[in-house]
Structure formats: structure tokens, C-alpha cells
Chains A and B, each alone.
Chain A
Amino acid sequence: MKLKGSVPAAFVLLLPALICLAVFRLYPIALAAWGSFCQESFEEAGRIIFVGLQNYADVLGDPLFWKSLWVTLKLNAVINPIQVVLALLLTVMVNQRFRGIAFYRLLLFVPIGVSLPIACVIWRLMLDPQSGLINSLLGQIGIDKQRFLIDEHQALWSVMAIATWKGVSFWMIFLWAGLQAIPSELYEAARLDGATAATRFFYITLPLLKRTLLFVLVTDTSVNFLLFVPMFLLTRGGPSYSTNVLMYESYRSGFIYGEMGRALAIMMVLILLVSITVVIQFYCLRQKESS
């Protein structure tokens, strides 16, 4: 009875969020889905024509789409585990109490205060093959100059490094909040029982942080599938399309080539890809939770 009575109230409280979700998320996705079946007419300026699955057929028949898909998957297969594991390890580290910890915390959280575009510009200067700071430092230890962002074998890794530098500190905030919610009595009891630091981490911290970790993993994956700024500002999808992720290919189609139908078709594929990945992540972590 009580539960029944609370349903309308809950609905009313959720309504603003649901309206925002519908207006700012679902409606644009529906528009994009419709747009992916349309093209601009070349015979009559400004006229939009329904072309069915033509855009999808064009996209799936384009080798560059498959290369972009591969780059997107490669980026995400590497960057998501690295970011989450690094964020978790650093969070556990900054959660310790010892002299000078505030300084380390400050250092680790500095990237949050730098916007991604500014971070990209700074990193571009530091990774400059001719006069960048990184090559100067490498030179000090006898390593030859690297080409970083202009080398097709190094560009994607450089982008991953920049995105990780920026992303890890952000995800640390959530994990740190999750850590604060774990009762300290559990650790004290474990210590009294003689549990080592590793045991406490694997048997207390990790299980009780699972929900936060799930949130971080899912959100991080979504963010990285849609990663765009470093490609836009640093590489423009190159060299040799080595950083041409689907997000950038969609942008290029829509806003450089003016082919919005193609851009939206790529975007729908990307949404599908993110959705499948997130469902798999939910499924895997829920399975472990229930077991």
C-alpha cells in the first residue's frame, strides 16, 4: 500500500529529469535516426529526400568506415581498462593518510581544472617533434626524437595518453567518494584478523566499490567512444587515418563534406556500438555481483 502511494510522488519528482531526458537526449536521437535515412537533394536546393537504407549501405561499403571502426575499438579496448585501473589504484593511494598526502592529491587532481581543449593545445606544444618538451626530456636520457602526433604508429597512443592524463583524475573523484562510503570498521576488523593490505583490497575495497566501479566503467566507456576533441584539435583523424575514430568520421562527413545523412548513419552505428558495450558491461558486472 505504502509503495503504491509513493509511485505517483516518485513519478512527479522524476518528471523534470524525464522531460529533460526526452527533450535533450531521446528527441535528438530520434531526429538523428530519421536523418540517417535521408539525403539532401542535388536537384532541388535544400530539399531532403528519403533514401531508405542507402546511407547505411554506402557507409558499410566504405573501407574507411571499417578502418574508423577498428581505430575506435582499438582505442576503447586499451583506454577504458587503463583509465579505470589507474583511477582505482591512484584513488586507493590518495586515500592513505601520511605526511604530504595533500600535495600528491593536489597534483593528481590538477588535470580536472584544465579543460580538454586547453590540455590538447598544451600537449601539442609538449609533443612537438622539433621543439617539444617531451623530446627534450627524451634527449636527456639518450632517446631519439619521436614524431608522436605526426607518426601513424604513435599518434593514437599519444591521443590515448592525453585522454588518460585528463580522464583519470576525473574518474578518481567518483571512486574516492565510493571509498569514503566503505565503513572503516571493516578495515579495522580485517586488520585485527591479520589481513594484509592486498587481502583488504581484494576482499573489502573491491567488492564494496563494485557499484561505483560499474558506474565509472560504463560512463568512461561512453565518453571514450565519443572522444572527439583530441582528434579535432591535434590530428584531424590523421596521419593516414590512424586516429580517425567513428566520431571524427561522422563529424567530417557532416560538417566538412556537408553529407549529414552519412554522418547520422555513422552516428547511429556508434550509438548501437556504445549500447551493446554498455549492456555487456552491465551483464558481466551484475553476474559477478549476484554470484
Chain B
Amino acid sequence: MLTRLAAPRCFCALSAVAAVAFSLTPALAVAATTVRWLTLSEGNWVDSAKKIIAAFEARNPDVTVAIDSYPFRQLFEAIELRMKAQDPDVDLISVDVPLVASYSARGYLAALDEYFTPEELEHTWVAASRQAGTYQGKFMAAPQNNSTQFMYVNLSLFREAGLTPPACLTAGQTATPATVATLAEKDRWTWEQVVDAAKKLTKTGPAGQVWGMEFHQVSRLYQLQALGESLGARLVADNGLKATGYFDSEAWKKAAKWYWSLFNEWKVSPKGVSPEESPNWFTDNKVAMFIGGEWHIPIFEKAGVNFGIAPHPYFAGGKPVTGTGSWHLGLNKASRNKEAAAKFLHYITADEEGTRIWFESQGQLPATQKLLTAIEQAPRYAVFPECAYLLGVYEARHTAVPRPQTPGYLQLEDIFASTFEDIRNGSDPNEALPTAARRVDRFLAQFRK
């Protein structure tokens, strides 16, 4: 109970607190703009995001950026859920490039044209990346980075097995665009050579089981598309509306049979390993050849693996093909903080400092013209492992094949992944692919109406 004397004191104290609080309100309001970014949680992505956020916040004290990160597959589900609900608490979303059209058509993304000058739109990114982020003439998602694929070679495991590794970029080596071109054109291994070596490398040793080879993104379209494409087969028709006759073609069946054999006949790749776990098998010296992206370079370097970087293999008689395309950044149409969010989006995708920080931290092939030019010209990128980016630039210009342009990409990607996972687990490719192609067509039919 308050005494007569205490009551006025309490009132005064509360008034004083309230006065201080009200005087601070404008300052708090300025600092309160928080941009929320729905993004990926895999690899070193979150660490890279934290670095660039710190740099951005130092330059823009009125904006803070919070990340809401998910594993690869869950990210798409979270985006579907929150964009469909028009959640205003999400400001930015990481957009896998084949989904730009799908998200734009369904009204998830706000156009970005007003946040960039015409010069920036024209000259910042390589044309293919900018075009991939454009839908019906509007710029809907800005390229955050590009990607390429290499074959990482564990040199220690090759030496222990007494085998000669494929020609590759190794520690202590320097390279130029010309030497890298020679490596890619003359010394690229075929999948047949890879399997021959993998059979000899797969064994149970004192340190446990060693496997010959492994894909990073096991069973995912991004990485396995190169198998069929290397044999000249596409996944869907040019208009993106038909999969039968493409996904179930003889060439794709051959590619899928090869994939099946890796796990079930030759047994040179481990089953039951997820894409999240697979890089650890390479860093733990359990896998001799690892098909992965350029973003694995800092991870393997940090882990102290004795590795080399070889060009991505291809089928004998086929053509070299590599995966490409990566993450773009989109602005949620329902966002309440579009201006602040666009500021961060501009910083991470177009700003000279921002793009450099992102590239140096994340290690993925950049999409900006300036950084690509820097890679080709700066002496720093002539030395291993940075010289691998020269190989990345070569692949991007000569062997990269984008993922299918289809409004049903979500369905295609999911059906592709579950089909190849089944093949990995022993399903017959000759039965699995026609079933999968018919299933994709069922979904694509709605877009043909």
C-alpha cells in the first residue's frame, strides 16, 4: 500500500521515466528499421551473410538486417508459405534463379527497376544473369552470385592408392586464362575415367571406408542436369511445357543408369549421405573425388585438405557441360520496409564494396562485370586456389548450361530429385524416368491451358 508521502514520489519517478522514454523515442524510431531476409543456412552462407550485414550496418546505421535461414529444401517451402500469406515481416528473399518467373507470376516479388539507375541495370551484371532475373521486361531479382562446377581431387588419397590424379590446379601453382583453357580443353577427364579411378580408390583401409567419388548435391537437378546434357539430352521442351520425350529420352536413361551404377553396381559412392553432409566426407578424407561448386574452395582450404581442382568431367563421345546459375535476391511485394530493404539489396548485389565482401567471403563465382574482370586481370587470381576462378570463368563462358526455363520448375525440381534419389537407392531408371516424365507433364498441363 502506498503511503501519502510515497504516492507523489512514485508519480514523480514514473513521470521522469516517461519523460526520458519519450525523449528517446525519435532516436529509437530511426534505429528501428529492421530488414528481414529469408535465406539459406547451408555451408558458410550464414557466416558470409553476417559479414556483409556487419559491413552494411556500419555504413547504414539507420538499418539493421536480420536473417531467417533455412536448409536448401526447407527454404523453398518457407518462401511458399510466407509469400502466399503475404507476410509483411519478410522483406527480402533469396531466389533460386530458375524460380524468378514462377515467383514473379504469382505476385511474390516487387519490381526492382526503380532502385537501380538505367546505367546500373545495363552494365552491373553479366547479361545472362541480369536476363535471368528479368520477367516480362521487369527486373524482379538481382543476381547475388553465379556458380560453376569443378571436380575436387583428394591428392593424398590418390597418392596412397598409387594412382595418377587427373590434371588439375594444385597448391603452389599459378595459372593464366590461357593455361586454364588448355586444362579444360585438353586434359578434362571423362566420367568413364572417373569411374575407373573411383573403383581403384574405393576400399576399406585402416582409417575406415574410402569412397571413389561423390556428388555434393546428390540427386538434385542443379548438379545432375549436366549428366543428361553431356549426352545431348534436354530435360524439357524449348517452351518448357513438355517433359515426356525429353526427361525419359534414351540419353537421359543412359545418364540415369550410370548414376544408378555408381551406387548399386560399382558401389563407388556412398548411399544415405545428404547434400548437407557430403562436403564433410571430402574434408574427412573419406572421398577421393568430389563434384562440387566453387564455393567449396574456402571450406576445403580451411579444413586443410590436400586437394586439387580439375575441370568438371563429361561422357566420352558427349560434350563438356557444367551447371550454372545461382541465387538472386528479391524484394517481397508485401514488405513494409521496401526502401530500407532495397538499400541492402543494392549493397549486396551491385555495390562495389558489398559485392567484393560477398565474393571474398562466400567464394562463389560473381555475377558482376567488375569482379569478373578483376579475376581475369588481378595477379592475385593467378595463384592457387584463387586461380580456380579462372577455370570458373572459362566454364561459365564455354560449358555452362542454365537450368530449364519452365513455369513448372518447382514441380520438375522436386520430381527430378525424388526420382534420382530412388534411382540412387536402387530403382530401375528405365521405369523411373518415364513415370517421372509423365508426372511432370501432368503438372505442366495446367500451364498449357
A58 to chain B, nearest CB (A): 8
CB neighbours (8 Å) of B156 from chain A are none
Contact status A130-B407, CB under 8 Å:
no
CB neighbours (8 Å) of B77 from chain A are 255-256
How many angstroms from the CA of A156 to the CA of B347 in the assembled complex? Answer: 49
> Contacts A45-B105, A239-B421 hold; do A258 and B80 have CB atoms under 8 A apart?
yes
> Contacts A255-B81, A256-B77, A260-B84 hold; do A236 and B418 have CB atoms under 8 A apart?
yes
Nearest A-chain residue to B76, judged by Cβ: A256
CB neighbours (8 Å) of A129 from chain B are 271-272
Among B76, B77, B102, B410, chain A packs the most CB atoms within 10 A around the CB of B77
CB neighbours (8 Å) of B106 from chain A are 40, 45-46, 258
A127 to chain B, nearest CB (A): 10
A residues 105-140 near B (Cβ < 8 Å) are 128-130
CB neighbours (8 Å) of B414 from chain A are 252, 256-257
How many angstroms from the CA of A40 to the CA of B272 in the assembled complex? Answer: 37
CB neighbours (8 Å) of B105 from chain A are 42, 45
Nearest B-chain residue to A44, judged by Cβ: B107
B residues 392-449 near A (Cβ < 8 Å) are 407, 410-411, 414, 418, 421-422, 425-427, 432, 439, 442-443, 446-447
> Contacts A240-B422, A256-B76, A260-B84 hold; do A46 and B107 have CB atoms under 8 A apart?
yes
Let me know if B320 is at the binding interface, CB within 8 A: no
Let me know if A238 is at the binding interface, CB within 8 A: yes
How many angstroms from the CA of A45 to the CA of B140 in the assembled complex? Answer: 14
Contact status A257-B418, CB under 8 Å:
no
The contact of A257 among B270, B410, B422, by CB within 8 Å, is B410
How many angstroms from the CA of A239 to the CA of B104 in the assembled complex? Answer: 33
Q: How many A-B residue pairs have CB under 8 A?
A: 63
CB neighbours (8 Å) of A254 from chain B are 80
A residues 229-269 near B (Cβ < 8 Å) are 236-241, 252, 254-260
B373 to chain A, nearest CB (A): 37
Nearest A-chain residue to B86, judged by Cβ: A46
A residues 136-169 near B (Cβ < 8 Å) are 147, 150-152
Contact status A255-B80, CB under 8 Å:
yes
Contact status A240-B442, CB under 8 Å:
no
The contact of B427 among A40, A236, A239, A256, by CB within 8 Å, is A239
CB neighbours (8 Å) of A241 from chain B are 418
CB neighbours (8 Å) of B407 from chain A are 42
A residues 83-102 near B (Cβ < 8 Å) are none
Contact status B271-A240, CB under 8 Å:
no
CB neighbours (8 Å) of A23 from chain B are none
CB neighbours (8 Å) of B442 from chain A are 62
How many angstroms from the CA of A40 to the CA of B426 in the assembled complex? Answer: 37
Q: How many residues of B contact A (CB 8 A)?
A: 29
Let me know if A273 is at the binding interface, CB within 8 A: no
Let me know if A173 is at the binding interface, CB within 8 A: no
Nearest B-chain residue to A244, judged by Cβ: B418
Contact status B410-A239, CB under 8 Å:
no
A168 to chain B, nearest CB (A): 28
A residues 32-79 near B (Cβ < 8 Å) are 40, 42, 45-46, 62, 64
Nearest B-chain residue to A43, judged by Cβ: B105
Contact status A150-B80, CB under 8 Å:
no
B212 to chain A, nearest CB (A): 16
The contact of B272 among A62, A64, A150, A260, by CB within 8 Å, is A150
How many angstroms from the CA of A288 to the CA of B77 in the assembled complex? Answer: 47
Chain B window 267-281, contacts with chain A (Cβ cutoff 8 Å), 1 for yes, 0 for no: 000111000000000
How many angstroms from the CA of A254 to the CA of B83 in the assembled complex? Answer: 12
How many angstroms from the CA of A40 to the CA of B442 in the assembled complex? Answer: 17
Contact status A258-B84, CB under 8 Å:
yes
B379 to chain A, nearest CB (A): 45
CB neighbours (8 Å) of A258 from chain B are 80, 84, 102, 106, 410
How many angstroms from the CA of A42 to the CA of B422 in the assembled complex? Answer: 32
Nearest B-chain residue to A131, judged by Cβ: B272
Contact status B76-A238, CB under 8 Å:
no
How many angstroms from the CA of A260 to the CA of B81 in the assembled complex? Answer: 10
B102 to chain A, nearest CB (A): 8
CB neighbours (8 Å) of B411 from chain A are 257
> Contacts A236-B418, A258-B84 hold; do A150 and B425 have CB atoms under 8 A apart?
yes
How many angstroms from the CA of A7 to the CA of B65 in the assembled complex? Answer: 57
Contact status A45-B425, CB under 8 Å:
no
Among A236, A237, A239, chain B packs the most CB atoms within 10 A around the CB of A239
Contact status B447-A257, CB under 8 Å:
no
Contact status B84-A64, CB under 8 Å:
no
How many angstroms from the CA of A237 to the CA of B443 in the assembled complex? Answer: 18
CB neighbours (8 Å) of A45 from chain B are 104-107
B residues 61-78 near A (Cβ < 8 Å) are 76-77
Contact status B422-A238, CB under 8 Å:
yes
Contact status B80-A256, CB under 8 Å:
yes
How many angstroms from the CA of A40 to the CA of B439 in the assembled complex? Answer: 20
A residues 164-196 near B (Cβ < 8 Å) are none
CB neighbours (8 Å) of B446 from chain A are 42
How many angstroms from the CA of A241 to the CA of B443 in the assembled complex? Answer: 17
Nearest B-chain residue to A260, judged by Cβ: B84
Nearest B-chain residue to A130, judged by Cβ: B272
Contact status B418-A147, CB under 8 Å:
no
A253 to chain B, nearest CB (A): 9
CB neighbours (8 Å) of B410 from chain A are 256-258
Among B81, B105, B271, B272, chain A packs the most CB atoms within 10 A around the CB of B272
Closest A-B pairs by Cβ, 9 of them: A45-B107, A46-B107, A150-B425, A255-B77, A240-B422, A239-B425, A255-B80, A239-B422, A257-B411
9 cross-chain CB contacts under 8 A: A130-B270, A152-B422, A152-B427, A238-B421, A252-B414, A255-B77, A256-B77, A256-B410, A258-B102
Given contacts A129-B271, A256-B414, 8 further A-B contacts (CB under 8 A): A45-B106, A150-B425, A151-B425, A152-B427, A236-B418, A240-B422, A255-B81, A258-B80
